[in-house]
Amino acid sequence: MRLVITGGAGFLGTRLARKLLERGTLVDAAGNARSLRRLVLLDVVAATVIDPRVTAIAGDLADPAVIERVVTADTDSVFHLAAVVSGHAEAEFDTGMRVNLDATRALLERCRKLDRPPKFVFTSSLAVFGGQLPDPVLDDAPLTPQTSYGAQKAIGELLVYDMTRKGYIDGRSLRLPTVTVRPGKPNKAASSFASGIIREPLSGIDAVCPVAPETQLWVTSPRRVIDNLIVGHDVAPAKFCQTRSVNVPGLRVSVEEMVSALRRVAGDAVAARVKWQIDPVIDKIVRTWPANFAPRLGPALGMNGDSDFGTIIDDYMQEMAT
């Protein structure tokens, strides 16, 4: 199989690439398990995954010439992870539309032209929901985004569904919970603090939490989300029934509970490095995100959520120690 990962040099893209290379096989659009012979990683910078099966390409996803180079006629599957994150998309409307919508449309149009419809895994977001919603949020809840990022992801889902209905692709849109704990530096995502309030204190650095302690989130660990992306790719089309969008299982947790778990795992001194200072811009965005879901389709497909937040912290600490 020939696979493409957009955002292939990013945190999730790199992890997904390594997991796919380790597995060595995936299920193609015809339902056959096939060996991975070529993995193409596209990002604005070259990916650093070293393997003879990997081709790293640095380029602009919104450039049609780059898309033509990356999605060749023998492409079997595309994992579309590349995106402008939530806070950035809200602050810079044109940039968000160009990357999150225009580039997604161009990528789908390229896939549409292939002789064999490829599998297309679109990483959507719980930000497609907002406003007055049932509690918990069910799989068939209406899409009511309250941010530009959420609107762009919702439009992407509709494009994926319609092109699947027409037989141009075999699409599946996975609405990811907030992924934590992410290593590295903070980014412009409104959810960046969900990693920062764990990562920085464990490194001996103070971290500012920009939302209230009672703020609740729907979260997932990096390890779990990668597993669920692969499940979403491999599952048979008939399992989706009338939809191609999935609320990926997660864990409901308040920010206060996250810090309490940090205290249990790492001690009082570490937890005390979290400082509370409301940022009105971030708080407004985060408040639009629902935090309580009752996913049914995801678990039925074989997806799983994390059991508790302390285990997520333990996993991060063990990874950082290796």
Tens digits of residue pLDDT in 104-155: 999 999 999 999 999 999 999 999 999 888 999 999 999 999 999 999 999 9
* Residues 55-73: tens digit of each pLDDT: 999 999 999 999 999 999 9
CA–CA gap between residue 156 and residue 145 (Å, rounded): 12
Q: Of the listed 149, 161, 168, 316, which one is catalytic?
A: 149
> What pLDDT shows up at residue 187?
73
* Domain limits, the chain: 2-321
User: pLDDT tens, position by position, for the chain (322 residues)?
Assistant: 999 999 999 999 999 999 999 999 999 999 999 999 999 999 999 999 999 999 999 999 999 999 999 999 999 999 999 999 888 998 999 999 999 999 999 999 999 999 999 999 999 999 999 988 899 999 999 999 999 999 999 999 999 999 999 999 999 999 999 999 998 877 777 789 999 999 999 999 999 999 999 999 999 999 999 999 999 999 999 999 888 999 999 999 999 999 999 999 999 999 999 999 999 999 988 888 889 999 999 999 999 999 999 999 999 999 887 7
Q: What is the percent of the chain with per-residue pLDDT over 70, rounded to a whole number?
A: 100
The kind and range of the H/E element at 4 are strand 2-6
Nearest CA to 35 among 2, 72, 73, 4?
A: 2
Nearest CA to 207 among 199, 217, 215?
A: 199
CATH code for the structural domain at 2-321: 3.40.50.720
Provide the b/e sequence for 91-113 (b: ≥16 CB within 10 Å).
eeeeebbebbbebbebbbebbee
* Residues 252-271: tens digit of each pLDDT: 999 999 999 999 999 999 99
Catalytic residue status for 149: yes
Bridge pairing between strands 33-35 and 25-27? antiparallel
CA–CA gap between residue 101 and residue 122 (Å, rounded): 12
